[in-house]
Structure formats: C-alpha cells, structure tokens
Amino acid sequence: MAASALSIQNYALLDDNDCEQRIVAAKQKLADRCIILGHHYQRDEVFRHADVSGDSLKLSRYAAESGAETIVFCGVHFMAEVADILSRPEQKVLLPDLAAGCSMADMANLANVERCWQELAQVIDAESQVTPVTYINSAADLKAFCGQHGGIVCTSTNARDILEWSFEKREKVLFFPDQHLGRNTGYGMGIPLDQMVVWDFSRPMGGLDQESIERARIILWKGFCSVHQMFQPHQIDDFLQKHPETKVIAHPEASFEVCQKADFIGSTEYILKKVREADAGSRWLVATELNLVNRLHEECKHEGKNIHFMSPTVCMCSTMFRNDPQHLAWVLENLSEGTIVNQIQVPEAEAVLARKALENMLSLA
C-alpha cells in the first residue's frame, strides 16, 4: 500500500449511509476510468453499486472486454485473479477486501493436485488419458496447471460443454475442486455414478484402488461449497407437502440427491432467467445463495410469484460478505485520489498458463 493511502481504519466505523454517499461521489469522480463488477452472491449494500453484475462466466468475459483503467471486483479472490489474467497489462484489478476468499477453492491446492497427477501416473498414462478440468472457483495456479497439461476451466454455466470438449481430447477427466458440479454434470450427460469416483486428497492414491481408477471416466476431487451443502432432500419433500405446485430449482453445486429432486438445475444466470420468465403467480423453491434468492423474490413479487429459499437455516457466502460498503468506499476513495490499494496481480509465468486454460473455455462460448 502506498504511504499516502487512506487507512481502512478510518472507514471501519462509518455507517452504511455515509459509505453509500462516499461511494457514489467517488464513482462520479472516477467516471469511466473505473468499472465495478458485482457477483450475484454479493450483499445488497455493495451489489447496488455494480456497473455490471453476473455469475463467474459473465464477469470473466466482461473483464476481458472492459475498457476501464481499473476493475474493482466485488466478488472473491479467484474472480479477481481471473479478471487480472484476462484484462490488458495496463489495467489494474482491485478486490475490496483481500480476505474475501472461497472455502471451496481452498480445498484444492497446487501441491495436492500435482501429487494426485503423479499418483495417477503410477496407474495410467495421465498425460494421454486425462484432461484436467478446474472449476473457475479455484486459484490461478490450478488454472495454470490445467493450461500446462492441456486442460481447461469451466463454470456452472458451461460445465457440460467443457466436459464434452474434454472427452474429445482424452478418455478421462480429473475434475476439481467441486465434486458436486462434476457429478451432477456428468450424470446429466449419461455417465453412470459408478464411473465417477471421488479422489480423497488426504489419502494415498486418493483412497482408490487401481481398478476404480481404470474404470472411472470422471475423477472427482473431494471438495464442495459449504453454502450449497446446507440444502437437503427432506427440505424439498417437506415444502412440497405444503405447496405441491412448487417448482424446485437448484444450483449444480448442491448435492446429487437435491439435484435429483429438482425440476431444474443450472447456474445463477440460469436460475434468474428461469424464474424471471416463469408464469405470474408461480411458486419456486430455490437452492442457491441467500442474497440472490432474496433479490429475486423482491424483483418478482409484484407478479405474484412466490420465491422461497430452500434451507430453513440462513446461509450466505460468508467470504463474499466480507466485501462491505466500508471496504468499497475505502478502495474507491483511494483510487479517486490516485492511490491503488488491494491490487490483485497474478505472476506472469502463472498467468500465461492459466490464460491458456481460460481461453480454451472462452473459445467454446
């Protein structure tokens, strides 16, 4: 941080209304030199200031196309890394709070993935038989690993297309870090459950024997989203007993059992589109992050639509929640004074390889 930077401690005790005014003023001063990207799971007090909102795929594309000097990414660390990788060298990417991470992404690190690759190579020819696929919810060095080994990145929007591309290259897929997205997508493509195995990175050979590895078409990393694991099949059953007309829609990070009970499965953008286009007066039970569901409810209630959050327990993306109005005001006011704070920079050697995997994905869009 530059010596002249305004300190975050000066913002910590500001109330949200003060921050609101300061954010608006800083945005006006910065004009088109800065663009704010906001992920759907971001809290309302920050989300309302986004110039562009969307899921990971939409925001990744926008980062690559933006003409702004500075991109302020209201999301989590891996999203800002993607924006840095895809943006032009002279552009800068800022994250309001560097503590905004992703617990799922943390479940797969480069050391464990490289060890997995080496152990697979003891049983099969990994380089010729396995396409590594990383969910965009992963660190830049894992995207670089995929770029190095002829792999690719996927999102929840395009996971099926990515798996089809991967199987055209090689007969097997190593899918990390979210086992549920991999399993739900693979099953939807007709791959039997017994041809999808879970690699437990805490155990030698992932806890698998040679026969299981040789038989598997998809090797799923033992990772998950803690938010989407809050949703349970019995919650659907209980709700349908009271409201049998309800349509159930789930994000594919939810468990296989929940997705099998859902009428529709798809990304955040898919969920928004499906519910927005639904008949007036319809009722929906939604299995994804709370902030998105609440906003969708408010947006659609004038049409008589009833939109319900699936879990009786309040659960939101707690790491995304760390981007608060105080941090956004701090970043923007520093920027308006010519000071850069919380810049995300992926090392160039890593970025080159990660860009290969990301460009493989974007070329299919």
Q: What local confidence, expressed as pLDDT, does residue 338 receive?
A: 93
What would be the CATH architecture of the domain defined by 8-101+319-346?
3-Layer(aba) Sandwich (3.40)
Contact 104/178 with Cβ under 8 angstroms?
yes
Same fold, 8-101+319-346 and 228-309: yes
CATH topology of domain 105-225: Rossmann fold (3.40.50)
Q: Which of 202, 83, 90 is nearest to 140 (CA)?
A: 83
CATH number corresponding to 228-309: 3.40.50.10800
Question: What is the distance between the alpha carbons of residues 137 and 180, in angstroms, rounded to a whole number?
Answer: 13
Q: What angle do CA 314, 184, 243 make, to 5 degrees?
A: 50
Q: What is the mean pLDDT of residues 37-49?
A: 88
Q: Is 167 left (phi over 0), alpha (psi -120 to 50) or beta?
A: alpha
pTM: 0.90
Q: Edge-to-edge, what's the strand order for the sheet holding 172-176?
A: 152-154, 130-135, 172-176, 218-221, 196-199
Q: What is the mean pLDDT of residues 198-211?
A: 97
pLDDT band of 225, cuts 50, 70, 90: confident
Sequence spans of domains, the chain: 8-101+319-346, 105-225, 228-309
pLDDT band of 282, cuts 50, 70, 90: very high
Query: Which residues are bridge partners to 265 per DSSP?
Result: 250
Which range in 27-31, 62-66, 226-230 is most confidently predicted, on average pLDDT? 27-31
Q: What local confidence, expressed as pLDDT, does residue 316 receive?
A: 57
For the cut 80, the answer to whether the pLDDT of residue 69 exceeds it is yes
Contact 149/354 with Cβ under 8 angstroms?
no
DSSP states of 97-137: -TT---TTGGG--HHHHHHHHHHHTTTS-HHHHEEEEEESS
Q: Which residue has the tokens 């969920």?
A: 271
Percent with pLDDT over 90 in the chain: 76
Q: What local confidence, expressed as pLDDT, does residue 40 receive?
A: 82
Measuring CA to CA, how many Å separate 348 from each of 12, 89, 144, 177? 34, 10, 11, 23
Q: What local confidence, expressed as pLDDT, does residue 135 receive?
A: 95
